[in-house]
Amino acid sequence: MQHSTCVCCRTVAHIKQMAASKTDSSPPCKGSSSGHQNVSSCKPQWSGMKGTFAMGCLVEVMLSLIHLCLSCLTDPDRGQVTRLEAEATIPPVASPSQPLRIVSLEEEQDKCKGMWELICVVNANVFCNFLCIDNGPCKHICNVVEGNVVCSCLSGYTIMADGISCEDINECVTDTHTCQRREHCLNTVGSFKCLQELSCQPGYELKDGECVDIDECERGTHSCKVNFVCQNTEGSFYCESKQRCMDGFLQDPEGNCVDINECTSLPEPCKPGFNCINTVGSYTCQRNMLTCSRGYHSNEDGTRCVDVDECQTGVHRCGEGQVCHNLPGAYRCDCKMGYQYDAFSRSCIDINECWNYPGRLCQHTCENTPGSYHCTCSSGFHLSYDGKHCEDVNECDTSPCSQECANVYGSYQCYCRQGFQLAEDGHSCKDIDECTQSAGILCTFRCVNVPGSYQCACPEQGYTMAANGRTCRDIDECAIGTHNCSAAETCYNIQGSFRCLSFECPSNYRKVSDMRCERISCFNYLDCQNTPVRITYYQLNFQTNIVVPAHIFRIGPSPAYAGDNIILTIIKGNEENYFSTRRLNSYTGIVYLQRQVKEPKDFLLDVEMKLWRQGTYTTFLAKIYIFITAHAY
């Protein structure tokens, strides 16, 4: 406060000195022809006014300025003061934001021009420096920008709607935090914290940010039975029996002591060569008395019996021409391949493979030989390289047929070219009247017989012969441009003909595509529900021989949602009751043909679908052109 008073005193002295040195040629204050200074264009021009002033110093400076100004206005010739309308408004101490202002003079004397400019300069500089004293009206940071107070906030805060106050930014909500994965964001005043997320393993619980053991015994969450006592462990527990068992015994789940069978529970209770015998509470080991049967002998340890290989040791009794084969505990004398042992003669005799394996050795005929067999083939075949199978002989190589020969398995067959048939002799061919014999199968419309063949014909209009020469292909008049539809009509091709269709949208509808109209507006809630929101045109083409009932059209909302429900109604075009509707499920329905249409006929069905979705009905209209034509040729 002492520093501010000294600055104030020097400032007053400086003002008086400047007022005395001002000349009549000094220009008035900037921004006003009358000498008033616009505070918004305030620029510090006097270095003596920089610094911090107390409010009392400000009042003293302003009063000194007014006093000098009034004395300057004294007229020396008439000894009186020229009339001055001036008012100096000194802001109260509690309102530093109110500016100091000088009311304009009615008569400005030339001698005071310099003085008023001095007053303006001092007033503007004092105002500019005192706007942000004690942070001004701002809660955080105060700045003066072009004569206006601009408030700003510290980091972590944002300015409020009043332009003065600041509020905390919740970085966790605005997603401006820098927490990593598996970290939890916690907002603080002006900042935030990242806390590590913890998850505890079974047997532990989270407490004060740490995993601590759960005492299941104390909480009573253990599963120990009556004869057991719960003992807590780190992360778990175990059940300890109240009764202790002696060695050789084990407690069962009920707490009873039962004998342990060491002979089965231990991996090797006794040494090799000893047998284990279980006793109550213990076991004993007794030496084995190993006795091997015929064909076996004990091993080197005397622990088990092993087979004697009579064939390898040469103790067998197989005769000449026989082969010894070892068996577990014995051996067998076998005859060579193609022979078998005869017990009466005690010798090996030839095997008749053809009798023993009929139909399995040879494909055709089997002939037995000593120790083996031989295969032969029937007429029309020859024996293959494996000596067992028979291969067919191709008789057609000798050209036994007049036209075509086909080799068959073990023989051959003569046949004729297309348009001819085999004669009674089985070799020559004669012409076939295909049109008479086929009974309309060869040609879809009309058959014309020609020598050795036939030709198919199509109707004169609407069809052309297909590439296969048998079926008639429909002519697409719409694609090749032979129709007579106007520019406003759309050509639609049907079997054997075409139709000119007009797709117009009714009033209050606009055309959004070639086949779709959408409603522009509706007048009330009832009108919105009952009038179609969309009208779509479809074209279907079927033949008179279609099997009924036939599903011809499937309808439903796309996409469909749970809770959707539709109602299908044919509101127009079904006067003869050829068609009907049926729902497949709550959101899908079909239009089907329920009666046979025997003659070609055109239909235009108006099928209305009402969609019930989330408590509101929406209507859609499908206008379906159905053309029943004669069956394809």
Pairing verdict, β 588-593 and 550-555: antiparallel
Strands (E) in 15-139, as ranges, are: 74-75, 80-81
The pairing of beta strand 420-422 with beta strand 429-431: antiparallel
Torsion of CA 170, 174, 179, 183, to 10 degrees: 80
Backbone phi, psi, residue 263, to 5°: -65, -30
Asked if 282 contacts 288 with a C-beta cutoff of 8 angstroms, the reply is no
pLDDT at 526: 84
Asked if residues 579 and 592 have their Cβ atoms less than 8 Å apart, the reply is yes
Residue 229's φ and ψ, nearest 5 degrees, are: -115, 135
**pLDDT in the model for residue 98:** 37
Quote the pLDDT of residue 247: 87
> Could you tell me if residue 306 is left (phi over 0), alpha (psi between -120 and 50 degrees) or otherwise beta?
beta
Q: Decide if pLDDT at 551 tops 90.
A: yes
Q: How many CB atoms lie within 10 A of CB 621?
A: 20
How many Cα atoms occupy the beta-carbon half-sphere of 69 within 13 Å?
24
How far, in Å, CA of 478 to CA of 491, rounded?
6
Q: Which is it for the CA torsion 123, 128, 133, 137, positive or negative?
A: positive
In terms of pLDDT, which residue wins out, 430 or 300? 430
**Mean pLDDT over residues 480-508, rounded?**
90
> What is the average per-residue pLDDT within 107-131?
50
- Residue 67 has a pLDDT of 55
Whole-angstrom Cα distance, residue 252 to residue 223?
Answer: 15
Note the pLDDT tens digit of each residue in 219-248.
888 888 877 889 899 989 988 877 778 888
Write down all domains in the chain, each with its CATH number in brackets: 296-351 (2.10.25.10), 436-474 (2.10.25), 475-504 (no CATH), 505-629 (2.60.40.60)
Average pLDDT over residues 315-333: 85
pLDDT digits (tens, 9 = 90+) for 387-406: 999 999 898 888 888 889 99
Rounded average pLDDT over 508-515? 91
Report the chain's mean pLDDT, rounded to a whole number: 78
Backbone phi and psi for residue 483, each to the nearest 5 degrees, phi listed first: -85, 175
pLDDT at residue 51 tops 90: no
Find where tokens 């992360």 sit.
Answer: 235
Burial 62-79 (b: 16+ CB within 10 A, else e): bebbbebbeebbeeeeee
Residues ≥6 apart with Cβ < 8 Å to 220: none
In a 13 Å sphere around the CA of 557, the CA atoms on its Cβ side amount to 22
**What is the number of residues in the chain?**
633
Residues 542, 544, 547, 550, Cα dihedral to 10° = 40
pTM of the model: 0.35
Given a cut of 80, whether residue 91 has pLDDT beyond it is no
Convert 152-174 into a string of H (helix), E (strand) and C (coil): ECCCCEEECCCCCCEEECCHHHH
> How large a percentage of the chain has pLDDT more than 90?
26
- Dist. CA 619–CA 566, nearest whole Å: 10
| Residue pointed to by tokens 């004398």 | 333
In angstroms, rounded to a whole number, what is the distance separating the alpha carbons of residues 333 and 207?
A: 84
Burial (Cβ within 10 Å: 0-12, 13-18, ≥19) of residue 571: exposed
Place of tokens 């028979």: 390
The answer to whether residue 6 scores a pLDDT higher than 50 is no
Comparing 65 with 458, the larger pLDDT belongs to 458
Structure token pair of residue 542: 């079927």
Name the residue among 18, 89, 81 with its Cα closest to residue 49.
Answer: 18
Q: Give SS3 for 195.
A: strand
Cα 427 → chain centroid: 71
- Locate 577 and state its tokens: 């009751």
CB 185 within 8 A of CB 172: yes
Dihedral sign for Cα 427, 432, 436, 438, please.
positive
Q: Which of 321-335, 454-468, 592-606 has the highest mean pLDDT?
A: 592-606
Strand 616-629 and strand 532-543: the pairing is parallel
pLDDT band at 270 (very low <50, low <70, confident <90, very high): confident
As to burial, measured by CB atoms within 10 angstroms (0-12 exposed, 13-18 middle, 19+ buried), residue 368 is middle
Render pLDDT for 360-373 as a digit per residue (tens, 0 to 9). 889 999 999 888 89
